[in-house]
Structure 1
Amino acid sequence: MTGTDLIRLELSTDAFEQIAAILAERTGIRLEPGTERLVVSRLSKHLRRLGLASFEAFLEHIRRPSGAEDLAAMIDALTTNTTRFFREAGHFRILEQDIMPRLAQKARAGGRVRIWSAACSSGEEAYSIAAVVAKCMPDVGQHNFRILATDIDSKVLKAAQDGRYPATAKRDAGPDFAARLFEETRDADGMLRVRAALRKLVTVRYLNFMDPWPVSGPFDVIFCRNVAIYMEPDTQMRIWSGLEQVLDRDGVLFIGHSERIGPPLSDRLELFGPTSFRRPGAAMSQ
């Protein structure tokens, strides 16, 4: 029996529930019963690195001040980061065809334009947005137009800041956007890098939805997709309400296809496309 097998045997129901409670308190994310194997697979390497033989010992460690870095590592490890370029392509079509004409006009008239990728993971969503913006507005760099990309996972934020992706990213971007997005690097590993002009549009920052938000808006567009689905209903509503408060009068909010905003905000946000919301009477294109 290997060391890994021994660690797997140590994930008791009580230890799982304690880990789930810490994750919920710190991030709002809910670990459902039945995800024990996921916890084991993502945390075992940290137990081995620390030389700990059980999850109980790991829990004791991360509750001490000296375990703060490993607590952060646990949160990073248990945060789901499924993403790709132009995921849920319908939202990007709406951005390109219905929203960008108005935003380009606003920026060229001297206005401030802000788009928020509120759970950017390793950056694919934010750079997909940037590619659409640059396609619709080639002179975007001359105007007050910026994209904010935030996430709770410090590891993926580093990847987002680097803007380097495997060659398979071209397939996800498709022929229309691959050339706009990437420049070939000289690295032997054949990685692609997002073009410098697009990287300049994007600011990458850490944000935990359970902490006070260091953003004030207003945002013309917010992408917050496939985040609230992992949270309790009251936490979801707090996030939707917070996003609505920093949304511009004519702003648009995109959420994940498995998510629902619910009746409490129905008088302030209306559905106008697949999981696409705006304020009643908001302007789209001009």
Structure 2
Amino acid sequence: MRQIKREFELRDQEFQYIRDLVMTQTGIVVSENKQELIYSRLSKRVRALNLGGFDDYIDLLEDGRNKDEMVAFVNAITTNLTAFFREGHHFDYLRDHALPKIMERNRQSRKIRIWSAGCSTGEEAYSIAMVLAEKLGFDTWDWRILATDIDTDVLSSANSRIYSADRVTGIDAQRLQRWFRKGGGRNQGLVQIAKELNDRISFKQLNLVKPWPIKNEFDIIFCRNVVIYFDVPTQKRIFDGYARHLAGHGNLFIGHSESLHKVTNRFESLGHTVYKKRDS
């Protein structure tokens, strides 16, 4: 493998150590051809900490006393690509099929619980919240969304409710008017999501490859374009965990490039990467 010659040297053994640490901490498999990507993301941490190179950075991580830097390491590695109403057919299915069935099943409790796993900067969770608010309102149903991610930086961004205006292009005018407020003056070019949506969402840090501090049962779980970064044994553990936390006949939504084939038999495909939990 060729060595990277830039501001800092990233030796093969250092790259391998980082690959192993990423796997241990996040479950993400870093392929051998990602050396430049790793350099690009972590050299910023080396520079910010005024270290001499990657050897010093690895010493810092190995020391274990700087817990904040391990968090920063994970935040630097994880990928956060998302958009409002990404894979729009999922939100149509949620509105037209999944929610009516849940409303029938939960008509006595009038509670609905949804988990957005790997929520990144929050666009998915807020998209779900918009659908629920438009379908159910805020008064007669107790609906809540748990939105989790391993990256604390993106969770803070999501909880702020603030996005650049170019992030909401493509959302229809009625939704924009109802759920977004345009900034003025120093906030020109920014929009803020309505607080009433944020009030129904709990943004929490959670590492999918570590034990989950979750006791709730969910009616729906969104985990889209997340498990593609994990190996198959890790995917199986995660999907089996989702099955344990889904209510009977609950729905799982995954990304368009993902599949449960040869990973788990706990779900039945409903088409278009929507699944139903099988009877136990």
Give the structure-2-normalised TM-score. 0.92
Q: Could you tell me which of 156, 159, 176 is aligned with 1:161?
A: 159
The answer (yes or no) to whether the contact 1:6–1:53 under 8 Å persists in 2 is: no
Q: Secondary structure at the match of 1:6?
A: coil
- Distance in 1, matches of 2:263 and 2:41, equals 36
Cα deviation 1:109-138 (Å, max 9, x = unaligned): 433210000110010000000001111112
Query: Aligned ranges for residues 41-52 of structure 1 at < 5 Å?
Result: 41-52=40-51
Partner residue of 1:128?
A: 127
Distance in 2 (alpha carbons) for counterparts of 1:264 and 1:15: 32
User: Which one is further off, 57-66 or 77-86?
Assistant: 57-66
In the alignment, structure 1 segments of 5+ residues that lack a partner are none
Distance across 1 between alignment mates of 2:279 and 2:51 = 58
- Report if aligned partners of 1:101, 1:136 keep a CA contact under 8 Å in 2: no
The match for 2:7 is 6
Structure 1's 172 and 14: CA in aligned 2 closer, same or farther, altered over 3 A?
Answer: farther
Cα shift at 1:197: 1.2
Quote the residue 1:82 is aligned against: 81
More strand by share: 2
What displacement does 1:257 show? 1.4
CA–CA distance in structure 1, aligned partners of residues 56 and 231 of structure 2 = 28
Identity across the alignment (%): 36
Contact 1:106 1:113 in 2 (8 A): no
- 1:257 paired residue number: 256
| Cα distance per residue 1:73-118 (max 9 Å; x no partner) | 1110000000110111111110011112233455664332100001
Determine whether 1:143 maps to 2:144: no
State the 1:252 CA deviation.
Answer: 0.4
1:29 counterpart residue number: 28
Conserved 8 A contact 2:110-2:140: no
Residue type of the alignment partner of 2:225: N
Q: Residue 134 and residue 6 in structure 1: after superposition, are their counterparts in 2 closer, same or farther (change >3 A)? A: same
Structure 1 position 264, deviation (Å) = 5.6
Q: Check 1:39–1:263 CA distance in 2 against 1; reply closer, same or farther (3 A cut).
A: closer
In structure 2, relative to structure 1, the CA distance for the partners of 1:58 and 1:245 (3 Å cut) is same
The alignment partner of 2:239 has SS state of: helix
- Is contact 1:84–1:172 with CA below 8 Å preserved after alignment? no
Tell me, yes or no, if structure 1 residue 189 matches structure 2 residue 190.
Answer: no
Alpha-carbon separation, structure 2, partners of 1:12 and 1:221:
44
Alpha-carbon deviations, 1:58-80, whole Å to 9, x = none?
A: 10111113332112111100000
Q: How many positions carry a matched residue from both structures?
A: 275
Measured in 2, the distance between the counterparts of 1:164 and 1:40 equals 30
Distance (Å, rounded) in 1 between the aligned partners of 2:44 and 2:198: 33
Amino acid across the alignment from 1:5: R
AA in 1 matched with 2:172: G
In 1, the alpha carbon distance for the partners of 2:40 and 2:18 equals 14
Q: Secondary structure at the match of 2:10?
A: coil
Question: Equivalences for 1:1-286 in 2 at 5 Å?
Answer: 5-7=6-8, 10-105=9-104, 109-138=108-137, 140-186=138-184, 188-190=186-188, 191-263=190-262, 265-266=264-265, 268-280=266-278
| Structure 1 residues 48 and 272, CA gap change in structure 2 (3 angstroms) | same
Render the CA deviation track for 1:171-219: whole Å, top value 9, x for unaligned: 1433353223312245613211110111111111110012211112311
Specify every segment of 5 or more residues in structure 2 that has no aligned partner in the other structure, as ranges. none
Please give the TM-score of this superposition, normalised by the length of structure 1: 0.90
Q: Deviations over 1:127-186 (max 9, x none)?
A: 000001111112x34432101100000000001111111101221433353223312245
CA distance in structure 2 between the partners assigned to 1:32 and 1:174 by the alignment: 39
1:210-243 per-residue CA deviation (whole Å, 9 max, x = no partner) reads 2211112311110001111111110010001000
The answer as to whether partners of 1:253 and 1:278 remain within 8 angstroms in 2 is yes
Distance 1:40 1:73, change over 3 A: same
The structure-2 alpha-carbon separation of the partners of 1:222 and 1:193, relative to structure 1 and needing over 3 Å to count, comes to same
Opposite residue 267 of structure 2, the aligned amino acid is L
Given residue 223 of structure 2, which amino acid in structure 1 is its aligned partner?
Answer: C
